[in-house]
C-alpha cells in the first residue's frame, strides 16, 4: 500500500511537471520580445516605393552591418503592416537569403544599385533553409509582410527611394 502511494506521488509529480512544461511552451516566442519593436541599435528610416501608379510609404529597420544582416527578422512573431527591414550591402553582389529562424512569411524585394526592384520572392516559407537567390546582383533587399507586394502593386521595375 505504501509502495503504491509512493508510486502514485511520483507519477503525479511527473504529470504536473509535464503539464507545466506544456503551459510554458506557447510562451517561448516571447523570449525575443525585445526584438518585436525596433531597438535603439536598429536605426529606422522612412522609404517610398513608386509602383508606377502609386507611392507607398514604409518605416523600415536598417540592417547595415554583418550582425544586423545575419539576424534580420529572425524570431519575431509579427511585423507591423507598414513596416519592414531594409538590408543594405556595401556593394552590389550575389546576396542570398533564407528563412531559418524566421517565424513569419515575408515578401523579399531584391533591389539593384539603382534602387530598382529586380526580383520578388513572394510569400516565403517560415523556418525554411532553402536558399532564396535573385537572378542578378543586388545591393539592397527589403523584407515586408507576405502578400504586401501583390496587394500593393509592387512589381519588378518598381523604384525605391530612401
Report pTM.
Answer: 0.74
Instruction: State the CATH number of the domain containing residue 132.
Output: 2.60.120.1140
* pLDDT at residue 73 tops 90: yes
Instruction: Find the length of the chain.
Output: 162
140 and 97 within one domain: yes
112 and 85 within one domain: yes
Confidence of residue 35 (pLDDT cuts 50, 70, 90): very low
Confidence of residue 43 (pLDDT cuts 50, 70, 90): confident
Task: Tell me how many domains the chain contains.
Answer: 2
Confidence of residue 22 (pLDDT cuts 50, 70, 90): low
Cα–Cα distance measured from residue 99 to residue 12, given in angstroms and rounded to the nearest whole number:
41
96 and 21 within one domain: no
Cα–Cα distance measured from residue 88 to residue 142, given in angstroms and rounded to the nearest whole number:
9
Q: Cell numbers 509535464 correspond to what residue?
A: 18
86 and 11 within one domain: no
Mean pLDDT computed over every residue of the chain: 84
Confidence of residue 13 (pLDDT cuts 50, 70, 90): low
Question: Among 14-28, 59-73, 98-112, which stretch is predicted with the lowest mean pLDDT?
Answer: 14-28
Is the distance from CB of 97 to CB of 108 less than 8 angstroms?
Answer: yes
Tell me the three state secondary structure of residue 55: strand
139 and 115 within one domain: yes
The helix or strand, by DSSP H or E, that contains position 120, with its residue range, turns out to be strand 117-121
14 and 66 within one domain: no
Q: Which domain holds residue 133?
A: 36-161
Q: Please state the rounded mean pLDDT for residues 30-38.
A: 39
What contacts 82, CB < 8 A, 6 or more positions away?
57, 58, 59
Cα–Cα distance measured from residue 138 to residue 145, given in angstroms and rounded to the nearest whole number:
20
Long-range contacts made by residues 30-35, C-beta under 8 angstroms, separation at least 24? 30/77, 31/75, 32/75, 32/76, 35/75, 35/76
Question: Among 17-21, 36-40, 49-53, which stretch is predicted with the lowest mean pLDDT?
Answer: 36-40
Q: Please state the rounded mean pLDDT for residues 26-35.
A: 39
Is the distance from CB of 93 to CB of 153 less than 8 angstroms?
Answer: no
63 and 9 within one domain: no
* pLDDT at residue 63 tops 60: yes
84 and 25 within one domain: no
Residue 103 has what pLDDT? 96
58 and 25 within one domain: no
Is the distance from CB of 16 to CB of 31 less than 8 angstroms?
Answer: no
156 and 102 within one domain: yes
48 and 122 within one domain: yes
41 and 19 within one domain: no
Question: Within 10 Å of residue 155's Cβ, how many Cβ atoms?
Answer: 13
* pLDDT at residue 14 tops 90: no
Q: Please state the rounded mean pLDDT for residues 29-35.
A: 38
Q: Please state the rounded mean pLDDT for residues 60-66.
A: 95
Amino acid at each position: 500500500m505504501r509502495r503504491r502511494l509512493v508510486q502514485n506521488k511520483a507519477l503525479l509529480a511527473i504529470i504536473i511537471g509535464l503539464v507545466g512544461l506544456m503551459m510554458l511552451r506557447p510562451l517561448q516566442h516571447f523570449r525575443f520580445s525585445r526584438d518585436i519593436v525596433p531597438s535603439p541599435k536598429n536605426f529606422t528610416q522612412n522609404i517610398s516605393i513608386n509602383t508606377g501608379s502609386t507611392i507607398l510609404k514604409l518605416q523600415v529597420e536598417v540592417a547595415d552591418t554583418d550582425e544586423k544582416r545575419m539576424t534580420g527578422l529572425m524570431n519575431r512573431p509579427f511585423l507591423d503592416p507598414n513596416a519592414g527591414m531594409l538590408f543594405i550591402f556595401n556593394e552590389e553582389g550575389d546576396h542570398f537569403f533564407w528563412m531559418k529562424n524566421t517565424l513569419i512569411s515575408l515578401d523579399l524585394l531584391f533591389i539593384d544599385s539603382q534602387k530598382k526592384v529586380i526580383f520578388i520572392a513572394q510569400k516565403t516559407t517560415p523556418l525554411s533553409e532553402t536558399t532564396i537567390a535573385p537572378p542578378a546582383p543586388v545591393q539592397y533587399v527589403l523584407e515586408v509582410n507576405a502578400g504586401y507586394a501583390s496587394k500593393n502593386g509592387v512589381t519588378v521595375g518598381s523604384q525605391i527611394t530612401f
